[in-house]
Amino acid sequence: MTDKEQKALYRFIMYDQIHRFRREEHKSIQWIADYLGVNFRTVKKYLKMDQTEFERYSENITNKTFMLECYTPFIVDSTSSQPSIYTHDQI
Angular region, 83: left φ>0, alpha ψ -120 to 50, beta rest = beta
pLDDT tens-place string over residues 22-59: 999 999 999 999 999 999 999 999 999 999 999 999 98
Of 2, 5, 30, 6, the residue nearest 18 (C-alpha): 30
Please report the pLDDT score of residue 33 as a whole number.
97
> How far is Cα 81 from Cα 60, in angstroms, rounded to an integer?
35
Label residue 90 by pLDDT band (50, 70, 90). low
Angle of the 29-36 helix axis to the 40-48 helix axis, nearest 10: 120
CA-based diameter of the chain, in Å?
58
Please report the pLDDT score of residue 53 as a whole number.
96
φ/ψ of 25, rounded to 5, equals: -105, -5
Please report the pLDDT score of residue 85 as a whole number.
60
